[in-house]
Structure 1
Amino acid sequence: MSERPDPAATQLPAEGQPRVIDENTDLSTLTDQEIMKLMEGMDHQEDQMNKPLISTPVPLSVIRQEYEKGSTQILKKLDWLAENGWDQVWRARGDGDCFYRSFTLAYLVRVLHSNDSQLEANLAYENIQRALPAMEHCGFDKDLYEEFLDPLLALIRSFAEEGESTSTEYGIVQSLQDPERSNCIVVALRLITSSYIRTHSDLFSPFLLSPTTFLPLSTDDFCRSEVEPCGKEADHAQIMALAEALNVGIRIAYLDRSDLGSEADSVINWVEFGKDTSEQGRPLTLLYRPGHYDVVTKDVLPQV
């Protein structure tokens, strides 16, 4: 006797309410519109996987072209960024790890363009070393997290060594386009983030919510489900934890449809994380579009 589909999986939603389609859904019950939506999602995912993990910078005007027929608020925000010198965007692949990849690129470019790259590299190296005891305290395998950290530490050390090919913007991008190296760094940063949240649970517990149900999660559940697995997008809690763990300021320009402010400096909503986000503190600067992070800078485009 053939099995009947689970009624719960085939039941259509109330009128006007899209139903959730998952592995339990009987495919024979899909409408033409639902099939088209699934196919579009698969095409988008395949397109993302064909993009480089990190791209060389493009002019901000390229991003603007994507919105020319869209929201006027977003166009005005992009124009404000351009008028204030934010002239290039370094794109990260939209695979759920874009924040950590963008953080890595901005972190290394910050070292590269400091007045004393060797000193800045040493400070970055020390900040990472100070994060290690928390990882060990949380029970992460030392051999494992040191192995994941090694590619990032090697890149940082390269700034103190003359003649290293990574000591240019293009060299950094090339290094981060290598999947094995880039993915190791993503895992390492996720473990640093997780260990900071776990060891500061009193600070973070009010903000640890499920992104799907918006219900509170325990520190352990949040870190296991939303921080440590690759492909999980970062939100404010993860960003704040990584900024604090590595003692670096982060400023994120939110490119959304929110109303424009009346003041000249409030056209863009800059969200700040970390101890020093002033211009003198040279924070990492990212561009956020719903569900995605890239790096935005004022630097001159590299001559490749």
Structure 2
Amino acid sequence: MEAIMAQQDRIQQEIATSILLVSDRQELSVLQREYAAEDTIYQLKIKDLHKKYSYIRKTRPDGNCFYRAFGFSHLESLLEDSKELQRFKAVAAKSKLDLVNQGFTEFTIEDFHNTFMDLLELCEKQPGLSELLGSFRDQSVSDYIVVYLRLLTSGYLQREHGFFQHFIEGGRSVREFCQQEVEPMSKESDHIHIIALAQALNVSILVEYMDRGEGGTVNHHVFPEGSEPRVFLLYRPGHYDILYK
């Protein structure tokens, strides 16, 4: 059994590493070819998505896709929006101190924070999209961004533990949940992670949920509720990609 599991892991790794961390922007119609023509549920849902979106940018399915998709999508939007860039940069700059005040060790989070700030400074220089894409395709830079976004998510969940405790199953504390499900790389993200990151950075995220549910429409959810979304993500069980209008 273990040998089979190990082989599965290896196959997964090979699939994962052969896919770019963040792809080029593609026509949304690429989704149609991913499912059989007779897969009516998904084909109808893709048709429904087409009413609102024209393009998709894919991320590597490695368990970090939510953070990578969010990070790239938001920073890409900042290239066109200097006002939001300045607001976001101020929040990001202060965020390290917030984490340290919460008990995170400064020297363990410093490098991740610096990489995050370097990328925001790159955005200020208004580079071409290819430079930002290059940073997100560079495994070490990209993973440092993911780690920092995970730390911010963990920090927010723990600060607001009174609220989030009700959503955590299995009798775990918020702190235990963060140590097991939020901070480690490759751990998949759920509603609770999205709510926390959206609130921590004050960036609104809309997620389109494409699953096997009945009815040919795709349901979406905005985090936090009632806000004006800046980041649009497509969720398919276990995976997030970026959507564009």
State TM-score, norm by structure 2.
0.92
Q: Secondary structure at the match of 1:286?
A: strand
What is the identity, as a one-letter code, of the residue corresponding to 2:138? D
What is the identity, as a one-letter code, of the residue corresponding to 1:52? L
> CA offset at residue 41 of structure 1?
5.3
Partners in 2 of 1:216 and 1:110 — Cα distance?
Answer: 39
Give matches, 1:20-35, under 5 Å: 21-22=1-2, 35=4
Does 1:253 find its partner at 2:203?
A: no
* Consecutive aligned runs of 4 or more in structure 1 exceeding 3 Å deviation: 37-42
Q: How many residues align?
A: 245
Partners in 2 of 1:57 and 1:220 — Cα distance?
Answer: 37
The match for 1:132 among 93, 96, 99 is: 96
Please identify which structure carries the higher strand content: 2
Residues 136, 142 of structure 2: 8 Å contact kept:
yes
The match for 2:111 among 147, 164, 168 is: 147
For 1:271, the equivalent position in structure 2 comes to 221
The match for 1:233 among 154, 172, 188 is: 188
Q: Secondary structure at the match of 1:89?
A: strand
Partners in 2 of 1:55 and 1:76 — Cα distance?
Answer: 25
What is the identity, as a one-letter code, of the residue corresponding to 1:158? L
The gaps in structure 1 that reach 5 residues or longer are 1-20, 28-34, 210-214, 262-266, 299-304
The match for 2:17 among 49, 57, 61 is: 49
Higher relative contact order structure (alpha carbons within 8 Å, sequence separation ≥ 6): 2
For 1:99, the equivalent position in structure 2 comes to 66
For 1:110, the equivalent position in structure 2 comes to 77
- Identical columns (%): 32
Residues 121, 157 of structure 1: 8 Å contact kept:
no
The gaps in structure 2 that reach 5 residues or longer are none
> CA offset at residue 218 of structure 1?
0.9
Residues 208, 219 of structure 2: 8 Å contact kept:
yes
Does 1:88 find its partner at 2:55?
A: yes
Partners in 1 of 2:57 and 2:33 — Cα distance?
Answer: 16
Distance 1:48 1:200, change over 3 A: same
What is the identity, as a one-letter code, of the residue corresponding to 1:150? N
